[in-house]
Amino acid sequence: MKGERKHQRSESRGPDGDTPARKAIKLSDHRQEQKDEDELMTAADIYFEEGGLQRIHPYFFKFATHAKGRWVGRTILEVFRSEFRDRPPGYYEPAIAQGIIEINNERVGPSTVVRNGDLVTHFIHRHEPPVTTQPLTIVQETDSGLLIVDKPGSIPVHPSGRYNYNSVVKILEKKHGYRALHPINRLDRLTSGLMLVGLNANVARRMENDLSSHRIQKEYICKVKGVFPTGRIICDQPIRVIAHKLSLNCVDPNEGKPSLTEFELLSVDDDQMHSVVYCRPKTGRTHQIRVHLQFLGYPIANDPLYCNTEVWGDNLGKNGELPLALPPLSELPTPTDTSAAETPAAPSPPPPAPTEEAKPPAGKDKKVNKMAGTTSASLLTDESRATWGPLVSRMENWKTKQELAILVDVPTDADAPRKCDKCSDPFMPDPTPDQLYIWLHAWRYSGPGWSYETKLPAWASGATEHIDRVKYQKESA
C-alpha cells in the first residue's frame, strides 16, 4: 500500500520526483540497454531448429511503454485486463502484487490509477512462437543499397507482439549481418513473397515515394475458394480498418478509403474446389487483396480471418453483406486438467516473482520493448458500433476460443515438461503446417528500369505456364 499511496499523491511528478520528460529519458535508456545487449547476442545464442520448426531459446524480457491516452484515469488492473490478450484475466492482480508489473519502476497496488507520462513495465520470461524452417532468401542486393528478399509465410516483418527474434528484421540482422534496415513494403505475417528492404534511409525514402506515387507495380498470386470467373475482374470497393489490434478490415462504401485491385484467373484445380488467381493491387490498403476477394465471393481458401464461417456466416461476407444474425459461436473449450491450463473462470496464477537466481542481473539477459494491447468493440465510434460492433465481438470471441483451445492442447506427454521451470507458463503446442501461411504470395515488383520476382510457391505450381502469359501481357501493356 505504501507504494500505491506514494504513486497516487504524485500529479505532475512520479514517485521519485521525475517529471514526464525525465520518464521519457528512462524509456529511452531501456531501449538503449536493449540495443546494447541485443548486439552481443549471436544467431547461435538465439535460434535452433527442432521438430521441423525454427525456435528461439526462451529469455527474460521487460516490456515497457508510456501510458496510452486511453489508459489515463483507469486503474492499472483494469488496463491490463481489458487491453492485453496474452494472459488470462486472473493473472494480472497477483502479478501486480508481486512486482512483475510496475509503474515508474516501483511496485503499485491493483487500484493504482494510471497517469499521463507513467512508464508501465511488465517483466516476463519470453517464449516466442516457432516459425517455418524455410529460409529467408536473399534474392539480390544492389549497389545503391536495396535488398530484395523472399519471405516465407509465418514470419512477421517487424518485432511485434509475441515475435521478436523470429522476425524478418531480426533474422536479417542476426543470420545475415545486416544493420539499420528499412523495410519498404510490409507483408502480413502469413503472406509469403518478395520484400524490398532499404539498407539506408535515402533508398528507403525514394522507394517509398515511388510506391505512394504508383510508380511501382505489385503482382501477387493467390489460391481462392471456388471457380474464379475468367477475364479481367476489377474490384474498386473502398476499404476501412474496423479494429486495428484484431487486424480486421472491411469494405465500407461510406467510410472506406479508395481501393482498386485487378484479378485474373490463372488455373482451376482438378477438383474444381480452388482457383489460382493473379492479383494486381493498384492501391495499398491493409489486407486489400484479401478483403476484395472476400467481397467478390472468392476468399483466399485458407485465410483464417476472411474465410471464417464462424464469424462471417455461410455467405462469408460476399458483396459486403453481413447476416442479420450469426449463429452463436461454439462453446469455449474447457480444459479437463486444470494443472495444464485454466479457463477464464479459474485462471492460472502468474509465475512466482522472479528470484535473484531466476531474475537476470541488471544489464544482462534483459530485453525491453513496447507492450502490445488489444482492441474491443467498445473502441469503435458511436456511428460505427451499430454496424461493426457485433462483427468485432464475434471476431474477438473466436480468437479467444482459439487461444483457449491451444491451452487445452498443451503437451501431456509424460516425457515432456508441461510448464516452464522458470515461469510456470504451459508450453504451447506447435502450429501445424497449414497454420504457418496463407495462399497469398507477393510474386513480382517492378519499377522504373527494374523488376524482381520470386519462384512460385508449391501450391501455385499448376499456374506456371499461365503466369508467363499474364506477365507478358502486363509488360506489354
3-state secondary structure 95-136: HHHCCCEEECCECCCCCCECCCCCEEEEEEEECCCCEECCCC
Active site residues: 188
With vertex at residue 140, the alpha carbon angle to CA 134 and CA 144, rounded to the nearest 5 degrees, is: 140
Among the listed residues 16, 93, 100, 104, the one whose alpha carbon sits nearest the alpha carbon of residue 62? 100
Residue identified by cell 501477387 is: 220
Rounded CA-CA distance 154/136 in Å is 11
Cα 347 off chain centre by: 25
* Polymer length in residues for the chain: 477
Q: What is the dihedral of CA 249, 250, 256, 262, to 10 degrees?
A: 100
State the CB neighbour count (10 A cutoff) for residue 475: 10
Give, as one character, the DSSP assignment of residue 259. Answer: -
DSSP run (H or E) holding 266: strand 261-268
Cell of 49: 531448429
Helix then strand then coil, in percent of the chain rounded to 5, is 30, 25, 45
